[in-house]
Amino acid sequence: MNIIFVADIFGLTDEFKHLCQQVTANLEQGLGVENGYGVEKFYGVKYHMVGPYQQQPKCFTCERDAYQYFTENVSLEGYVNKLEQKLLAISGSKLLVGFSVGGSAIWQLYAQGAVKQSLGAICFYSSQIRHLTQLTPNIATRLILPSTEPHFSVAALRAVLRDKPTVTIEQSEYLHGFMNQLSVNYDGDAYLYYLTRLADLLSKQYSEHILEEKILREYYFERVLDDGVNGK
C-alpha cells in the first residue's frame, strides 16, 4: 500500500517529514497487530511525500511569506499538475493525506478523474476548497475542517459540501495549521491526537480494501470452479 502525503505551502520541511514518518510507523504497527501477519499477510507501507516546490526553499519566516512564495512560483493549478505526475508514477493502491493547499490539490485532481487505483483521501483544513465547491472528488474524501477560518464561514462551507456522496466532514476544535509545527496555529495536543486518529482512519480504509479484494478473489475462484465442473 502507498500513502501519499501532500504538503502545505511550507513544503517538505523537516517537521513535515517527521510527521509522515510518525503516521506511517503508527499505521504499520496497527496493521501488523490487527492482521497478526496471518491470513491476510501485511507487507508494509510505502510512503511518498509530495511538496509544491521543485527545490525546497529555506525555512520561511512566516506563513505570509510562504503563501506569497507559493502564489508567485507555483499556484494551485501548478500543484495539481505536479501531484498528478507524481501519482501516475506510483503503481499500486494509494491513500492520500493532504494538508491545507495540498488537500485542495487532491480535491481538484480527483474531481478530474485522471488518476486510478486510489482508495481515498483525508484532507486537513483545505480552505481553498471553498472556491471549488462545484467539484466532487471521485474517491472517498474525508475533510477535517478547523473550528473557524478568518476569511470565510466554516459552517457555510459544511452546508454546501454535506450532500456530496463521496465526502465526509469532520470538524476539529483547532485552527488552520494545527498539524504544522511551523504554523502559529500549531497545537501540540491536536498533533498527538491526530497522529493516532490519522493512522486509525488509514488502517480502516486499507482493511476495507483488503476485505473487498478477498471477496472478489473468492468470487472469481468460485466462478472458475463452477465453470470447470459444468464443462464451460
Q: In the structure, what pLDDT confidence band is assigned to residue 184 with cuts at 50, 70 and 90?
A: very high
Q: In the structure, what pLDDT confidence band is assigned to residue 53 with cuts at 50, 70 and 90?
A: very high
Average per-residue pLDDT in the chain?
88
In this predicted structure, the answer to whether residue 140 has a pLDDT above a threshold of 80 is: yes
Q: Are 144 and 167 in contact (CB under 8 A)?
A: no
Q: In the structure, what pLDDT confidence band is assigned to residue 230 with cuts at 50, 70 and 90?
A: low
For the segment 13-49, what is each residue's pLDDT rounded down to a tens digit? 999 999 999 999 998 888 774 444 433 444 567 899 9
User: Percentage of the chain surpassing pLDDT 90?
Assistant: 70
Are β-strands 94-99 and 118-124 bridged in parallel, bridged antiparallel, or unpaired? parallel
Helix/strand/coil (H, E, C) string of the chain? CEEEEECCCCCCCHHHHHHHHHHHHHHHHHHHHHHCCCCCCCCCCEEEEECCCCCCCCCCCCHHHHHHHHHHHCHHHHHHHHHHHHHHCCCCCEEEEEECHHHHHHHHHHHHCCCCCEEEEEEECCHHHHHCCCCCCCCCEEEEECCCCCCCCHHHHHHHHCCCCCEEEEECCCCCCCCCCCCCCCCHHHHHHHHHHHHHHHHHHHHHHHHHHHHHHHHHHHHHHHHHHCCC
Q: How far apart are the first and last CA of the chain?
A: 36
**What local confidence, expressed as pLDDT, does residue 216 receive?**
53
Q: For 171-185, what is the mean pLDDT?
A: 97
Amino acid at 225: L
Which residues fall within 8 angstroms of residue 69, CB to CB, at 6 or more apart? Answer: 9, 57, 60
Torsion of CA 189, 191, 194, 195, to 10 degrees: -120
**What local confidence, expressed as pLDDT, does residue 135 receive?**
97
Residue the block writes with cell 482508495: 119
**pTM, 2 dp:** 0.88
Question: Rounded to whole angstroms, how far apart are CA atoms 71 and 140?
Answer: 28
**What local confidence, expressed as pLDDT, does residue 38 receive?**
36
For residue 91, CA distances in Å to 17, 70, 88, 112, 207 come to 22, 28, 7, 19, 19
Cell numbers describing residue 147: 473550528
Cell numbers describing residue 35: 492482521
Q: What count of other Cβ atoms lies within 10 Å of the Cβ of residue 154? A: 18
